[in-house]
Structure 1
Amino acid sequence: MPALKKQRIDLRLNDEDKSMIEEAAAMSNQTITQFMVSTASERAAEIIEQHRRLTLNEESWNRVMDALSKPPAPNSRLKQAAKRLQDME
């Protein structure tokens, strides 16, 4: 099995932030690196999930569902675009 490549991130912290991170890492029985990676990864996953999720009210949801179940007939521009795509293949 090939060894995992490790990436490096350098941070500049003020004394107060560094001390707080060191204390929190120690309290959670983690190295500073483990603490920083786990905390940053968890927060990154939260932010990504928030940005990927779309929340709709009931009216908007119904409009989307109606559009999906009863799509409009293709207009001439859509037909032309489909033909161009087909011609490229």
Structure 2
Amino acid sequence: MPRPHTETGRVELRLRPEDKATLTRAASLRRLDLTGYILGAVLPKAAAEVAEAERLTLSERDSMRVLALLENPPAAPDRLVRVAKAGLTLR
């Protein structure tokens, strides 16, 4: 299924002729153009890798520390309280 033309970035890919033929054949079997086929296969994997890299993993000890701080937050420093009441910004 052809995609509507929109302003997009361009990526070039160098392939051996036999690899391009395989990708083109697979795309045609799915009734996609080559770009749609490649993006459909690659974008979900890329999104998963980005999500994994951006995920913060805590040890059990660190998780318990965060929970404890959420349940019993420390008191704000006096300077911060004064600035907040005055509507100023810290420098």
TM-score by length of 2: 0.63
- In structure 1, stretches of 5+ residues that fail to align are none
TM-score by length of 1: 0.64
User: Identity over the aligned pairs, expressed in percent?
Assistant: 24
Task: Kindly report structure 1 stretches of 4+ aligned residues shifted beyond 4 Å.
Answer: none
Q: Taking CA–CA contacts closer than 8 Å with sequence separation of 6 or more, which of the two structures ends up with the larger relative contact order?
A: 2
Aligned residues: 84
* Aligned pairs (5 A) from 1:4-15: 5-15=6-16
Kindly provide the amino acid, as one letter, of the partner of residue 37 in structure 1. L
- In structure 2, stretches of 5+ residues that fail to align are none
Q: Closer, same or farther in 2 for the Cα pair 1:11/1:4, shift >3 Å?
A: closer
More helix by share: 1
Kindly report the root-mean-square deviation, in angstroms, between the aligned alpha carbons of the 2 structures: 3.1
Map Cα deviations across residues 39-73 of structure 1 (whole Å, 9 max, x no partner).
Answer: 23212211221123222232221111011111111
